Structure 1
Amino acid sequence: MELRHLRYFVAVAEQRHFTRAARVLGIGQPPLSQQIQQLEREIGTALFRRLPRGVALTPAGDALFDDARRILREADQATERARRVGRGEQGRIRVGMINSAPFHPLVPRVIREFRRRYPEVALSLEERTTPGLAAAVRNETVDVAFVRPLLDSAEGLGTEPVLDEPLVVALPSGHPLARRKRLELLALSLEPFVLFSRAVGAGLHDEIIQACHSAGFRPRVVQEASQVTSIVNLVASGLGVSIVPASMQQMHIEGVTYREIRSETPKARLNLIYRQSDRDSPQILNLRRLARQLGQQAEDGSR
C-alpha cells in the first residue's frame, strides 16, 4: 500500500463519485478506478459499493476512511517538519559566548532576532572562556560560539568574523589621567596594568600588547584575569589601569572611568566559531548569516 493509494481512496470517499474525485486529483477517471481496484485487491475486500450516481463506502471502506485521513495528515505533517528542519526553522542550536560578549548590544540583538525569526528552534546559551568554548564546539557540546581570536590552532573550526570593536582605556576614577577626554597610549607607559590572560584570550591580549609596543612601551602587568568583567572590577579597586573593549562601559561599575584612545585605535575582534563539519547545518547557517548581517549594520552605524 502506498500513500498515493490512500490519497486516491480518500478523494473518492469524500466526493462519493469517481469522476468528481478524478477532477479534484487532476488525473483521469479510468486510472483512478484502476488504482482503487488495486488497493481493494491488496486489502482483500471491496471499499466502495457502486451506485447508479456515484459510490458509497462499504463497512470496510468506512473503517479505513478515518485511519487513511489520519495517516495522510501525519505524513503531511512529517513532510512539513522535515522541510522546516531543512530550512533551519525547527530543531535546536546551542550557543556559547565569552563573558564580555553580552555587554555589546550586537550579541543580545542577534540572539533576540534569531529567536524572533525562528521561534521553533530551541536555543540554549552557555558562557565560558574562549579556549573552553573552542573545546566545547569541537566536542559537540556547543554548536556555535561568540569568541575572541584563538591562541591555538583553529583546526576543524570555521570562523565567521562578526565585529571589530574599539578598545578604550579603563582608569580608576580618581586617577590624574581621568581628567583628560582622550589619551595617547604612551601616557600609560609608567602605569601598572591589569590585563587579560593570554592563555584564555590570546587575540585580545596580543592586540593590546601590540598597540602598546607601537606606542613605544611595554606594559608593566601586575595582575592578569581570565574575565574582562574581573579586570574592570580590579581597575575600580585601584590595582592598575587597563585597556578593554568599549562595550564594557555598559557595566557602569562605580570607581572606573573610561577614556577613548587618541590616534589609531586598537580593535577587539569578535568571531563566531562553528564546526567545519557542520558548516552546512541550516540552523548554523541561519545564525551565521544573521550575525554577519547585524554585525555589518553595527559597524556601519558606528562610522
Structure 2
Amino acid sequence: MRDLDLRLLRYFIAIAEHASFSAAADALGVSQPALSQGLRRLEDVVGTPLIRRAPRGSPKALALTKVGEGLLEDSRSLLAHASRVLKRVADHADKTKIRIGFGTSTPQILTRDILRRAGELGNTEVSLEFVSWGDEVGSLERGDVDIIVLQARDRFLDPRLLVIPLMTVQRVAIFHVDHALAARSSVAMRDLDDVPIIDAASDRDYWIVNPRPTGRAPVTVGPAARTVDEMLTFVSAGRGMAITSATVAEKHNWPDLRFIPIADLEPATVFLAGLQSERRREIRTLIESFAKPKL
C-alpha cells in the first residue's frame, strides 16, 4: 500500500471546491502544472480518476467522479483530524492547555464556573475562545477549542460529542420597539404565526420554530442570519422578528429592541460538550465533573 500525502489531499479538496484548476492554484499559492501533477499522483495512488469535465451546459468546468465524491468527504475528515493532532503536539508541554469555547449566548455565571473548575484541576493553562453561532461543533473538530458551551433542544445528541446538559434558559421573541407586540409582557406561539421571522443559518428549525404548534410553517425573511449580531441588526432594521434565548437578551440591551418572553415555548438547554475521542485526562475530567450532582 502506497503512502498517502496529505498535501495531495489539500490539492484535491481545493480543485473540488473551486471547480477550477486556475482558481485552486491561486488559492493554494502553487502553479497550475504543480497542481495538475499533484492530482495525477493522487489518482495514481487511489488507482482511479477523481475529476472529470462537467457535462456540457453545466455552470462548472469540472465535476467529481463517484470515487471523487467519496474521497472528498473522507479527505476533509482526515485533514481535520491531522490538524487536531498537530495542534495537540504543538500544545504539549508540562501544563495541559484547555481552550474553552463560548459564544454570545453563553451565561456568564457558567463561564466563571467552568474556569474555576478548570483551575482547580492543577497543572493546567486555561483560555477562553469566542466561537460564532453555528460553529460550535466545527471548532471542536478543527481543534480550535477543547470544550464548548452551546445551546440547543433538550434532546440534543451528536455521536461525535460527549455532551453534558447544564441548565435551561427561556426562549424569547425579539421585536423592534415599534412592533405591535413589543409592548406585551409575554406572547404565545399562536401570536407569532403570521409575524415574519428572520431566517436562521444555524439549527434553523429549532430557532424559527418550524413547524409551529399549529402545524403551520413560519413566514421567514431572508437572508438567513449567520450570527447573533446579524439577527439583532435585521430586527433593528425592521425586517422581522426573531427568537433567541434570554441569555442573549441579558447581553444586548439595544434601545430599539424589545425581548419578550414566549410563555408556551420550551426553553433552550445549555450543554457542555467535548469530543468523544478526547483522551486527555484533565479535559475529560472537567467535562464529566459537570455530570455529577452538586452536594
Output the TM-score relative to the length of structure 1: 0.56
1:269 and 2:269 correspond: yes
1:233 maps to: 233
On the 8 A contact 2:205/2:211 being kept in 1, the answer is: no
Give the greater-gyration-radius structure (CA). Answer: 1
Aligned pair count? Answer: 197
Letter in 2 for 1:171: F
On the 8 A contact 2:167/2:271 being kept in 1, the answer is: yes
Q: Distance in 2 between matches of 1:206 and 1:279?
A: 34
Which of residues 175, 178, 192 is equivalent to 2:179?
Answer: 175
Q: Distance in 2 between matches of 1:120 and 1:216?
A: 53
Structure holding more helix per residue: 1
Q: 1:146 to 1:289 in 2, by over 3 A?
A: same
- Sequence identity (%): 19
Output the TM-score relative to the length of structure 2: 0.57
Q: 1:93 to 1:226 in 2, by over 3 A?
A: same
Structure 1 residue 149: deviation in Å? 4.3
Letter in 2 for 1:188: L
Q: 1:163 to 1:113 in 2, by over 3 A?
A: same
On the 8 A contact 2:104/2:248 being kept in 1, the answer is: no
Letter in 2 for 1:255: D
Q: Where do 1:13-162 residues align within 5 Å?
A: 91-101=96-106, 104-114=107-117, 117-118=120-121, 120-129=123-132, 132-149=135-152, 154-162=158-166
Q: Distance in 1 between matches of 2:209 and 2:256?
A: 27
Deviations 1:108-163 (A, max 9, x none): 2224423553465211222234653323323434211112349x993432212222
Structure 1 residue 192: deviation in Å? 1.5
Q: CA RMSD in A?
A: 3.0
**Which segments of 5 or more consecutive residues in structure 1 lack a partner in the other structure?**
1-88, 298-303
Deviations 1:231-290 (A, max 9, x none): 12221221211111011112111201111112x322222222212222662233224424
2:219 maps to: 220
Q: Distance in 2 between matches of 1:233 and 1:138?
A: 30
On the 8 A contact 2:211/2:218 being kept in 1, the answer is: yes
On the 8 A contact 2:151/2:271 being kept in 1, the answer is: yes
On the 8 A contact 2:208/2:243 being kept in 1, the answer is: no
What secondary structure does 1:183 align onto?
Answer: coil
Q: Distance in 2 between matches of 1:164 and 1:267?
A: 6
Q: Distance in 1 between matches of 2:134 and 2:261?
A: 29
On the 8 A contact 1:130/1:148 being kept in 2, the answer is: no
On the 8 A contact 1:194/1:231 being kept in 2, the answer is: yes
On the 8 A contact 1:208/1:266 being kept in 2, the answer is: no
Q: 1:266 to 1:229 in 2, by over 3 A?
A: farther
What secondary structure does 1:244 align onto?
Answer: strand
Q: 1:165 to 1:272 in 2, by over 3 A?
A: same
**Which segments of 5 or more consecutive residues in structure 2 lack a partner in the other structure?**
1-93
Deviations 1:69-108 (A, max 9, x none): xxxxxxxxxxxxxxxxxxxx9522112223322xx23332
Deviations 1:182-210 (A, max 9, x none): 1112212222211321xxx32xx322444
